[in-house]
Chains A and B, each alone.
Chain A
């Protein structure tokens, strides 16, 4: 670490701080200041326009009694569990398969990962067409002779959230594969060889030795996926628009429609604070442990 010394002079000592200052100020004002501002709004009666008169917890009370909010929270639960679990399962499986000295690995990897370069709006638009009842998947199955096949999840309020899971998995599972493949390549070969000499089978080696060694990768992948899940907005907007009705709402789309289309600024602010609290509960301990690890070398 290069701590500035006295003989480097005034400019050298203050220049780093000065250079960092603009970004620090931007962060302070536009991230933390705005969190405070939004927090304050959540304690007011703001409707279409912000109103800065203190109103206590009234918006939170409204939020917690709002059926639509609970639909959004429940959907986030369903989406997060299936999306994170599914992406991990698909990603880890593909990474292990690709790790078996496969021919053309580079090309296959490229294919698995390209959806990650697309925006969720593109993914949503594409899946909306493929899953549409009538001309999409349903028609295909009918043409193949399965005439009683029906697939109406996009317009079925019981099932609409699962279409978001399907499209989300398609987009993000390759990413999990890439993270784990990189991790697998980092595992020391000699441990695996030693286990093989001891007569351990391949599945056992992966399950007992390699995956435990990848704990940090598992951990950071879980962080990233839960973060994607909580922030999910575009995919729902493009695929279902939150519908039918509000059956596929997530907290992010709920916040958007309260704050920007229904003139419920205070309620939108309160729901945003709930999202922040959820993310902070997951991320702050993670960042804390990462930074501590860092400073201990």
Chain B
């Protein structure tokens, strides 16, 4: 009995380690490839350790690699993404908080229908918006601008942020609100003084969720932005698909890591909230 118990524990850890290797290997390959030279990539293989570590590929990916016709690396795209992600995350989170507050604590006749209508936005395939949105952004002179992208992300992101806050606020007892109202507190006072101070966890979850979503978005970036306003994901895709005489996989991998770095950092430092955000969309309540 004890022996078979031991055997199963051993098999269990073996299986878990095997799975860990499966998830980690691509990251290992990206990291090692990015510090190899093209010559070393040619003679070595995916798993071979770099013989001479060089950061040339990283600096090339950042500042001189060709992304289509221009050859300025990813730096410009990176800053575009930063300029896009900050306002888009801030605005969609604020809207979500206020919507969630109304839809959970100030329900009125028809508010459930409004919620259902907003909620469908979480699921709808954004392909149906692309053509009309492109037309509309064009009409208002916002095509190919960061402002246009911010607008699209706010419109499409508010559905999830509203869902997050609403589900969180449903869990705050209504008695708290009632008591505050008996004391004469109004709509805004209750929001600022009671609801918002209790919201830190859900604000973190929403900020991180929105940051990851918007930073990683490719569809809106490739459709609504060109040239000067393109985000990092589009830059990476252009870089990796620009044909050069010798395919520089080290530069591709360095570029991929640069594009992934912000969201990986968020995951490392705030993983708890990241996981909660992932499950919040799935498990209601």
- For chain B, the count of residues having a C-beta within 8 Å of the partner chain is 97
| CB of A32, distance to nearest CB on chain B (Å) | 7
Q: How far is the CA of A137 from the CA of B45 in the complex (A)?
A: 8
Could you mark each residue 100-130 of chain B with 1 if its beta carbon is under 8 Å from any beta carbon of chain A, else 0?
A: 0011011110011011111111011111111
Could you mark each residue 185-199 of chain A with 1 if its beta carbon is under 8 Å from any beta carbon of chain B, else 0?
A: 000000000000000
Q: How far is the CA of A64 from the CA of B103 in the complex (A)?
A: 42
List A130-175 residues whose CB lies under 8 Å from chain B. Answer: 130, 132, 135-137, 139-140, 143, 170, 174-175
Is A23 touching B118 in the complex (CB atoms < 8 A)?
Answer: yes
Could you mark each residue 44-78 of chain B with 1 if its beta carbon is under 8 Å from any beta carbon of chain A, else 0?
A: 01110000000000000000000000000000000
User: Which of A17, A117, A122, A294 has a CB less than 8 Å from the CB of B256?
Assistant: A122
- For chain A, the count of residues having a C-beta within 8 Å of the partner chain is 107
Could you mark each residue 228-251 of chain A with 1 if its beta carbon is under 8 Å from any beta carbon of chain B, else 0?
A: 001101100110010000000001
B242 within 8 A of A: no
User: Which of A135, A170, A224 has a CB less than 8 Å from the CB of B249?
Assistant: A135
A30 within 8 A of B: yes
Contact flag A252-B47 (CB < 8 Å), given A23-B162, A125-B240, A126-B256? no
Give the contact stretch, choosing among B13-21, B82-90, B142-150, B193-201.
B13-21
Contacts of A259 in B (CB 8 A): 130-131
Is B127 touching A252 in the complex (CB atoms < 8 A)?
Answer: yes
Is B19 touching A140 in the complex (CB atoms < 8 A)?
Answer: no
Contact flag A234-B219 (CB < 8 Å), given A32-B117, A97-B15, A118-B260? yes
Give the contact stretch, choosing among A1-9, A53-61, A79-87.
A1-9
Give the contact stretch, choosing among A67-75, A205-213, A264-272.
A264-272
User: Which of B26, B181, B233 has a CB less than 8 Å from the CB of A130?
Assistant: B26
Pick from B24, B26, B108, B219 the residue with the most CB of A within 10 Å.
B26
* Residues of B bordering A, CB below 8 Å: 12-13, 15-16, 19-20, 22-24, 26-27, 29-30, 33, 41-42, 45-47, 95, 98-99, 102-103, 105-108, 111-112, 114-121, 123-135, 154-155, 158-159, 162, 174, 177-178, 181, 186-188, 212, 215-219, 222-223, 233, 236-237, 240-241, 249, 252-253, 255-257, 259-260, 263-264, 266-267, 271, 274-275, 278-279, 281-284
* Residues of A bordering B, CB below 8 Å: 1-4, 8, 11-12, 15-17, 19-20, 22-24, 26-28, 30-35, 37-39, 41, 50, 90, 94, 97-98, 100, 102, 108, 110-123, 125-130, 132, 135-137, 139-140, 143, 170, 174-175, 178-179, 182-183, 216-217, 220-221, 223-224, 227, 230-231, 233-234, 237-238, 241, 251-252, 255-256, 259-260, 265, 268-269, 271-273, 275-276, 279-280, 283-284, 287, 290-291, 294-295
Across chains A and B, which 7 residue pairs bring their CB atoms closest together, nearest first?
A119-B216, A16-B106, A117-B267, A234-B218, A37-B132, A272-B127, A34-B132
15 pairs across A/B with beta carbons < 8 Å?
A20-B99, A111-B24, A114-B23, A126-B29, A135-B42, A179-B282, A221-B282, A223-B282, A237-B218, A252-B125, A255-B127, A256-B222, A268-B130, A275-B128, A287-B116
